[in-house]
Structure 1
Amino acid sequence: MTIGAVLFDCDGVLVDSEVVGLEDSAEFLRQRGFDWGPSELIRRFTGKRDDRFRAELIEAYGDVLGRPATEAEADELFEGMLEARRLNKHKMQIVEGAIETMAVTQRLGLPMAVASSSRQEHLDSKIDRFRFAAFVRPHVYSADRVAHGKPAPDIFLHSAEQLGIAPQNCLVLEDSPYGVMAGVAAGMEVWGFLGGGHCFDGHSERLSAAGAVKVFDDHFAVQQELIAVMEEHI
């Protein structure tokens, strides 16, 4: 593969946000009859856009209730679970080495974009708060912009189009199986990433099964591999 651009997911790759409030969200659901722990929440929902996340959560709530949830019950469940996470947002941290990976990518002369399932307002806030803006703006793209969220390829194809790089020359760095599937569906090479606090046992295997050609434990390993791949084509 000739790398022409790097597309970064945000949550779990640049910002260690997936683990924030996770236990509180699981406890909120347990109080409403679910038997899911944090790892089950990660397995089911990480990487999905809110609309798909909500639909699947409400469908599961129907199984818990033994009947379809009313609209009021659905809203209370979804918004309440999100609020449990929002109350912890001040605990978000940058993923160690993320800025350095962007700096290496820039030194290699590769265009970059962030392609995320987060809502645009939340994505913009994280990009600014953790000082990624200088590397990637204006190429910060939320799945709000496209018809279908991950695991559909739309957000990655949109990002490639905006960068002016053919999809087959884009490298994707992803932490979720759904994100990996989206990158593969877009015809891109995908590297899996395990540096977020939500990557529990078996996560590497799930990323590989979804189509990640390589899986890395941290950003230092990503940087070394990116340099090595680019040097092969000099």
Structure 2
Amino acid sequence: MPGSGLVIFDCDGVLVDSEPISIRCTAAALNRFGYPIDEDGVFDRFLGASTASMVATVEASLGRPLAPEALDDLRREILAAFDRDLTAIPGVAEAAARLERPFCVASSSIPERIRHSLRLTGLLPLFEPAIFSATMVVHGKPAPDLFLLAAKRMGADPARCVVVEDSIHGVRAGQAAGMAVLGFTGGGHIAGDPARRERHAWRLKQAGAALVFDRMEELPGLVREVSG
């Protein structure tokens, strides 16, 4: 129904527990490219950012372009690691099934990676075809473009949308789109370190998250709460 509410999920770190894998692979690759960074640095600088945004930052710092084949190698390494290790965020399928409004995915990842991740974890049937990628817009997160595109395609009023995000970039994008944002800290890249979880929860709130949570079973009630 035009103007209806909508829940917009980020994918990595919200639907699938992919960020520990991606962060590990990305840190190793960037060091090979000559850009010194550890896993904490990747978390702080690039969590939630599109590949294009990360590459632009790295290339500006290095003063030279990254070889396209090097980026292709990184994508292959991440996907191979997903095949071995990727799991769904605990309880996310059950939580999505209990939502009282439509839902979709809007991720900084490329469409092939989003679908691959959802297929590996058994979540694809829940979301197909309501899958939106930063490759579909000019400006990725923290710009609002991707979330606004998802709302438009799903026939939803942005003011009645709720975004579920684990990253500062994503929270800022949801805020810029005029949507309520729930910050999620239950992914393995955050929940495994209590000090990081506390710090990241504070940063999500500072970026504009209305509420922060770490267990997916809480999601339906929180959506109702922030939706008024």
- Range into which the TM-score falls when normalised by the shorter chain: 0.7 to 0.9
**Greater Rg over alpha carbons, structure:** 1
- TM-score, with normalisation over the residues of structure 1? 0.83
What does the per-residue CA deviation read over 1:17-52, in whole Å, with 9 as the maximum and x for residues that have no partner?
A: 111153343234345554422121011112112211
1:88: which partner in 2?
81
Amino acid at match of 1:177: I
Single out whichever of 163-172 and 138-147 deviates more from structure 2: 138-147
Residue 189 of structure 2 aligns to a residue whose secondary structure is coil
| Alignment match, 1:209 | 206
| Whole-angstrom CA distance in 2 between matches of 1:203 and 1:47 | 13
**1:157 partner amino acid:** L
Distance 2:110 2:5 in 1: 27
2:157 to 157, 166, 181: 166
Displacement of 1:100? 1.1
Residue equivalent to 2:95: 101
**Structure 1 residue 133: deviation in Å?**
3.4
1:87–1:130: structure 2 CA closer, same or farther, 3 Å change rule?
Answer: closer
Which of these residues, 171, 180, 183, is aligned with residue 189 of structure 1? Answer: 180
Give 1:1-234 correspondences, 5 Å limit: 4-31=5-32, 33-60=34-61, 62=62, 68-69=63-64, 71=65, 73-75=66-68, 78-90=71-83, 91-105=85-99, 108=100, 110-199=101-190, 201=196, 202-226=199-223
Q: Which runs of 5+ in 1 are unaligned?
A: 63-67
Alpha-carbon distance between aligned partners in 2 of 1:117 and 1:187, rounded to the nearest angstrom: 19
Q: Aligned AA for 1:167?
A: P
Amino acid in the other structure paired with 1:221: E
Aligned amino acid, residue 222 of structure 1: L
